[in-house]
Structure 1
Amino acid sequence: MAAVRVIQEIQISSSPSLPAQPPQPLSFLDAMWLQSSTPVERLFFYDFPHPLFHFIDHNLPILTNSLSLTLRHFYPLAGSIRPSPNYDNQFEITCEEDDSVTITIVEFIGDEFRNISGHHSKNFKNLRLLVPKLTKTSLGGGQFPLISIQITIFPNQGLCIGFAIHHAACDGSGLMQFIRSWAAACRCTEPTLDDISPPFLDRSVIINTHGICRKIFEMMRKYKGASGKCLEKQSSLSISDSNLVFATFTLNKDQIGLLKERVQAKRVEEGKPSLHISAFAVTCAYAWRCLVKAQASDGDIKQYFVCAVDWRARMRPSIPSNYFGNCLGVCMAEVNSRVLVEKNGNEVAAMEISKSIDALQGKDVYEALIAVIDRHWEPARSRRLSVAGSPKFRVYEVDFGWGRPVKVDITSIGGTRAISLVENREEAGGMEIVLVELCSNAIQTFGV
């Protein structure tokens, strides 16, 4: 039976140390995630053919020192989120002088590194052992931490750096800024603050237009009462179920190209002009159709596909690309189950996803969010698929000094029934699709 043995737990503060900073009010794009009970969880696996003592003596000081420097720029991550003492129904990030981030060092026992880090189907319960716990017992008064880190050593084989972060702290782009900065500092012989690109931390650039935060919370409460039971039924997988497997499927560049060609051929057949179809759209469409076919859904059920869209360049005026916080809009595509599983289901799904993304052009983030909320949370007899991650994050370029990761996984999809999407490690232009399913379902899901 697989298990982990805790070696030590370390609290890392910023260096040089910072005095207490003014509280940072959460923007409405941050506050949307406050009710999410599932942190974002990312695992980075690396080859590390050295014994445990080598890591403790040689690598751990480099990792902790470089993290301390990185937190000088990303200091909000060492803070905590709390209700604002000055305003009702508002929250803020508070940063005190002695704030820190927890790193837990553990040794993995009972399974081989290749079994845990491979692209093949693997036991999800074992994978969860690599995920840090996002807790800090010293917090009270409604406060909770933003991030936790766990480094799991497989002696003489490899290691895994795991992150758990509350989504209200930042989006995927912000998290990857932090991880890349830490990795860059690790690679330097004697890192300094000049080696770390600072993020843009001013959350006041996200303006609460139209009182959207209040409207969003009202709709969420209404949704929970009206259709929460339906959602609970759809998302009934328990992440502790020993029968869950974590499965990775890949599409190479040629396969994605073929999927694109089929969409354009369908457009020509219908007498319509060609449409810009991205690799993201056809990959998501392919996964969507496969999963609906595996579910054997009623043909009259509406199927929804939902994905987050980076709004940094779409804001008016645009905000810096290194903005650290949440800056996500949402787009949604809708297809009837019967249409989705038919012969041309891939092509129809890809076109609907592409049109949904193109329709965001020129829209205010408020308009886009409200439109999706109205459509996404009202139907009782509907199902939806969401996607975590993005191939634009280039996760396989994150090098802490041991080379490229052998695998990067997002384990938080196990609690949301989403899929994750990253670039194909082995081939430029390809994609990796990951899902969590019961053993009996996972094998057939993409076997179509």
Structure 2
Amino acid sequence: MSCFRTQQKKEKQCMMSTPAIRRISECFVKPRSSNQICNLTPWDIAMLYTNYIKQCLLFKKPATLIDEHHFKQNLLEKLKNSLSLTLSHFYPLSGRLVTHKTQNPPSYTVSIDCNNSDGARFIHATLNMTIADILSPFDVPPIFQSFFDHPKALNHDHHTMPLLSIQVTELVDGVIIGCSMNHAVADGTSYWNFLNTWSQIFQAQSQSENHEYDVPISRQPIHNRWFPNNCRPPISLPYKYHDEFIERSERPLLRCRYFHFSAESISKLKAKANSESNTTVISSLQSLSALVWRSITRARSPPSDQKTTFRLAADCRSRIKPPLAEEYFGNCLHVTSAEATTKELLENGIGWAAWKLHVAVTDLNDRVVLEFLEGWLDSPFIIQMGRYFDPYSSLMVSSPRFNMYGCEFGMGKAVAARSGSANKLDGKVSSYPGREGGGSIDLEVCLSPQTMSALESDQEFMNAVTEFDSLLF
């Protein structure tokens, strides 16, 4: 523990001396053409109260770099050109939210207007820090908030702000590409399809002297938004003013830290979970989630009869009948959960917890999803992230299946993928693919300082954690 306190002291000193980020320029990038109005589905509307999806990729500058100025200007120009072409495929991201209201009867509809918009914001910034400065601390340093646009805005706020903002931050030895995307427009699957397509177009243009031509893309987004039976858009909400469902609150004091689990460690967890449950169907992520559920609960030390809940945000594309394609652009998420008392969770093994999570996921089918959506249409509501969190619950979001490290932008494989400060609450856990691939997984865990300290001393949890490869930066 003394070692950790020493690290905390170093991090505090680092925060006090952290250089300020400097914005050099900003502009707006528009698609070649766009004249659409997009209606929001129940899944989209429910996200109006949450924050943007904010992820960034950290790249090393080329080792053989000779002309720093030429590299920077060339990179920025290619990013803008390829972004414009990418937005032609993902045109809702170039629009703005628009609301139509009536008072008698009360009606409140929100849609995406791609006609009257400046497009996506593109920001160029610099920071006098190295990749090691940013990635070395145990906890995610506060400077990460500066790598994204819209620091505290909610999705509903962006009637006048861009639905997509890209910030390119130049470090001493690297480049950070941060992407902020309105969560009422798209989910994580759509987010990474966009980024991978942008990278694909960037790479193709880099191999051609003509930067204006259209590049064939491998995964064309599908914009025909899915609505439940008998639901005719636009969907009317029972409000007169946004103040009826939007509340501002201060973010809680949290520690957020990344933990790495090698492919070997994940394989051992999965084998143990399946062996203890006498089955072969429990997945790697379910096994890891069971470890996290048990470890966080133990770190919180609730009473033995206290009910604990572990929730998983699941992609519903393959659960709808007929299924939606993975390229479906929009939100398509449902939160499923498993419950157990502290005593049940900790007295039984990891296999017991993993089986409960497996059942929760496999029980999430077309009928469950449709019943939820029909209930939502009868009584529409806007998701407040806090309703998924109590002192004894956790939520797993994102996915190690997302192709985060397939986005290269001419600088090779990213050194790391990280998130911004959006939607951070006590008990939120985000899963990422490990950089080395092969089934490795990274977790971003957000907890109160006291609970995080206890987790870092949890033997079962830390025995499964693998150290990050410091040689990468």
TM-score normalised by L of structure 1: 0.82
Partner of 1:132: helix, strand, or coil? coil
Q: CA deviation at 1:207?
A: 2.5
Query: Does the alignment pair 1:386 with 2:401?
Result: no
Query: Does the alignment pair 1:112 with 2:130?
Result: yes
Query: Does the alignment pair 1:12 with 2:21?
Result: no
Whether contact under 8 Å (1:414, 1:436) holds in the other structure is no
Structure 1 residues 162-177: aligned runs within 5 Å: 162-177=178-193
Structure 1 residues 37-186: aligned runs within 5 Å: 38-49=51-62, 50=65, 53-84=69-100, 88-96=107-115, 99-109=118-128, 111-118=129-136, 121-133=138-150, 142-155=159-172, 157-186=173-202
Over the aligned positions, Cα root-mean-square deviation in angstroms equals 3.7
Structure 1 residues 352-391: aligned runs within 5 Å: 352-368=356-372, 383-391=392-400
Q: CA deviation at 1:250?
A: 1.7
Q: CA deviation at 1:364?
A: 4.5
1:442 to 435, 448, 452: 452
Q: CA deviation at 1:265?
A: 3.0
- Structure 1 residues 383 and 77, CA, compared in 2 at 3 Å: closer, same or farther? same
Range with bigger deviation, 313-322 or 85-94: 85-94
Query: Does the alignment pair 1:428 with 2:438?
Result: yes
Task: Supply the distance in 2 between the matched residues of 1:8 and 1:369 (Cα, whole angstroms).
Answer: 43
Q: CA deviation at 1:437?
A: 4.0
Q: CA deviation at 1:23?
A: 1.5
Partner of 1:167: helix, strand, or coil? coil
Q: Which residue of 2 aligns with 1:199?
A: 221
Query: Does the alignment pair 1:396 with 2:405?
Result: yes
Task: Supply the distance in 2 between the matched residues of 1:39 and 1:395 (Cα, whole angstroms).
Answer: 18
Partner of 1:6: helix, strand, or coil? strand
Structure 1: runs of 5 or more not aligned: 239-243, 269-273
1:414-443: per-residue Cα shift (whole Å, max 9, x none)? Answer: 623311101121241121111234555434
Q: Percent identity?
A: 24
- Structure 1 residues 248 and 140, CA, compared in 2 at 3 Å: closer, same or farther? closer
Partner of 2:365: helix, strand, or coil? coil
Whether contact under 8 Å (2:321, 2:366) holds in the other structure is no
Q: Which residue of 1 aligns with 2:327?
A: 322
Q: Which residue of 1 aligns with 2:263?
A: 253
Partner of 2:274: helix, strand, or coil? helix
Q: CA deviation at 1:299?
A: 2.3
Q: Which residue of 2 aligns with 1:24?
A: 38
Q: CA deviation at 1:300?
A: 2.4
Query: Does the alignment pair 1:237 with 2:243?
Result: no
Task: Supply the distance in 1 between the matched residues of 2:125 and 2:152 (Cα, whole angstroms).
Answer: 17
1:83-142: per-residue Cα shift (whole Å, max 9, x none)? Answer: 136892221000126531111111113x32113135x51343122121222699xx9995
One-letter code of the match for 2:271? E
Q: CA deviation at 1:209?
A: 5.5
- Structure 1 residues 237 and 391, CA, compared in 2 at 3 Å: closer, same or farther? same
1:361-405: per-residue Cα shift (whole Å, max 9, x none)? Answer: 3424232568999xx999997632112210111212211111111
Task: Supply the distance in 2 between the matched residues of 1:144 and 1:58 (Cα, whole angstroms).
Answer: 27
One-letter code of the match for 1:100? G
Partner of 2:286: helix, strand, or coil? helix
Task: Supply the distance in 2 between the matched residues of 1:303 and 1:440 (Cα, whole angstroms).
Answer: 18
TM-score normalised by L of structure 2: 0.78
Q: CA deviation at 1:282?
A: 0.7
One-letter code of the match for 1:162? G
Q: CA deviation at 1:167?
A: 0.8
Whether contact under 8 Å (1:41, 1:412) holds in the other structure is yes
* Alignment length (residue pairs): 417
One-letter code of the match for 2:40? L
Task: Supply the distance in 2 between the matched residues of 1:178 and 1:367 (Cα, whole angstroms).
Answer: 30
One-letter code of the match for 1:131? F
Structure 2: runs of 5 or more not aligned: 1-16, 459-473
Whether contact under 8 Å (2:100, 2:109) holds in the other structure is yes
1:136-157: per-residue Cα shift (whole Å, max 9, x none)? Answer: 9xx99955431211111103x1
Task: Supply the distance in 2 between the matched residues of 1:301 and 1:140 (Cα, whole angstroms).
Answer: 38
Task: Supply the distance in 2 between the matched residues of 1:58 and 1:141 (Cα, whole angstroms).
Answer: 31
One-letter code of the match for 2:340? V
Task: Supply the distance in 1 between the matched residues of 2:373 and 2:302 (Cα, whole angstroms).
Answer: 28
- Structure 1 residues 141 and 152, CA, compared in 2 at 3 Å: closer, same or farther? closer
Q: CA deviation at 1:264?
A: 2.8
Task: Supply the distance in 1 between the matched residues of 2:237 and 2:354 (Cα, whole angstroms).
Answer: 29
Q: Which residue of 2 aligns with 1:296?
A: 301
Partner of 2:277: helix, strand, or coil? helix
- Structure 1 residues 378 and 252, CA, compared in 2 at 3 Å: closer, same or farther? closer
1:336-358: per-residue Cα shift (whole Å, max 9, x none)? Answer: 122223352x2222111100001
Whether contact under 8 Å (1:423, 1:429) holds in the other structure is yes
- Structure 1 residues 159 and 246, CA, compared in 2 at 3 Å: closer, same or farther? farther
Q: Which residue of 2 aligns with 1:241?
A: none
